[in-house]
Amino acid sequence: MPRQTFKVLALTAAISTALICAQNASAASAELVAAAKAEGELTVIALANSWCGYGDQIKNFKAKYGLKVNELNPDAGSGDELEAIKANKDNKGPQAPDTIDVGLSFGPQAKAAGLLQPYKVASWATIPDSVKDPEGYWYGDYYGVLAFEVNTDLISSIPADWSDLLKADYKNSVALAGDPRSANQAIQGIYAAGIAAAGGDPTKAAAAGLKFFGDLNKAGNFVPVIGKAASLAQGTTPIIIRWDYNALADRDALKGNPNVQVVVPKSGVVAGVYVQAISAYAPHPNAAKLWLEYLYSDEGQVGWLNGYCHPIRFNDLVANNKLPKAMLDKLPPAEGYAKAVFPTLDQQNSSKEAITKQWDTLVGASVK
């Protein structure tokens, strides 16, 4: 056979194979949409509408596919989400979560406990390997850094670093955005303070963070109230340690009443990745898969960025010019993020265990 003819046949075969794969992918997607619509609804948990732009994400998903979305306990922590799966193993109604959105260290924990089922979204290859389970039981969705959300109508001297929070200026002022015995955001806040206090040593971060908050509590600066936009505005918690995207969303929502400043600390800049997963007992497994397909599509990833979260496919989207310049210009200056550290999974697991188990003993403040 002439070489030229062989090349043409090979190219034709390759094109045919690609077309067949594309058709199969399209058919599979149509089948998933049909199966999800047959289920008719999706149950999510711990997705506050102000968190990471989730309000618009849910609204857009409903508009796109016509599914009902049940929203459970929007203020729940990662630990609460796992407990909700366990408590509703045999419940096929709207009180059983189909999907969860939890801190990175909770993904492997949930998999080990048999609480998850595997599923790989179409954009799987563009998710960094370092933040996904190779079998598809859980994978990173977005990330941010721990920052100080400050009510500047009440706080005139703005804290620039963790050590500043110990000053007498901040009596009854500093709060966490969750219960450090179960909420990933609060656990990571303690870890970040520890990274700063320990000079960047991750092996000493948990102990140093607990000591820092123990000192903060003894000084009368720590407020044992879960910090939210409402408590910030009311003055109950004028300084909240929380993810930058939540703080920035509050700043926009409050519209200057009160005035809010978001500060990325000079040291101890810790980035945290959250992950998505599907419950092993999901009453609506196809709706859950469709939800994840939406979140990891270009549209869903841009939706997170619109909520000030860095989507996990950020680099891929930038490389392919999928992000509007106006949206990128709304983000905080890149300089504040240059020193961010991403704790490894082992570091997160060990620090989480130490913090959740020793908080009551070493700090002694019951956060509610």
**What tens digit of pLDDT does each residue of 29-40 get?**
899 999 999 999
Residue 77, classified by CB atoms within 10 Å of its CB into exposed (0-12), middle (13-18) or buried (19+), is buried
Looking at the predicted structure, is the pLDDT value of residue 25 above 70? no
Give the integer Cα–Cα distance in Å for 275 and 75: 17
φ and ψ at residue 10, rounded to 5 degrees: -65, -45
**DSSP state letter for 268:** -
Percent of the chain with pLDDT over 70: 91
Looking at the predicted structure, is the pLDDT value of residue 336 above 70? no
Looking at the predicted structure, is the pLDDT value of residue 19 above 90? no
- Is the dihedral angle over the CA atoms 343, 348, 350, 351 positive or is it negative? positive
Tell me what pLDDT residue 15 has: 33
Tell me what pLDDT residue 23 has: 33
Tell me what pLDDT residue 167 has: 98
Number of alpha helices (DSSP H) and beta strands (DSSP E) in the chain: 13, 10
Band (319; pLDDT cuts 50, 70, 90): confident
Q: CATH: 3.30.70.20, 3.30.390.10, 3.40.640.10, 3.40.190.10. Which one for 39-143+272-329?
A: 3.40.190.10
Average pLDDT over the chain reads 89
Indicate left, alpha or beta for 281 from its phi (over 0: left) and psi (-120 to 50: alpha): alpha
Band (69; pLDDT cuts 50, 70, 90): very high
Q: Output the CATH code of domain 144-271+332-362.
A: 3.40.190.10
Band (130; pLDDT cuts 50, 70, 90): confident
Of 179-183, 257-261, 312-316, the one with minimum mean pLDDT is 312-316
Tell me what pLDDT residue 280 has: 98
How far is residue 367 CA from its own chain's centroid? 21
Band (333; pLDDT cuts 50, 70, 90): low
- Of 282, 243, 301, 270, whose CA–CA distance to 110 is shortest? 282
Written as one letter, the residue type at 279 is S
Tell me what pLDDT residue 17 has: 34
Contact 161, 173 (CB under 8 A): no
Looking at the predicted structure, is the pLDDT value of residue 182 above 70? yes
Please list, in sequence order, all residues whose beta carbon lies within 8 angstroms of the beta carbon of residue 80, skipping any fewer than 6 positions away. 45, 46, 73, 182, 183
Band (335; pLDDT cuts 50, 70, 90): low
| Residue 258, preceding peptide bond in cis (omega within 30° of 0) | yes
Please list, in sequence order, all residues whose beta carbon lies within 8 angstroms of the beta carbon of residue 224, skipping any fewer than 6 positions away. 175, 365, 366, 367, 368
Looking at the predicted structure, is the pLDDT value of residue 12 above 80? no
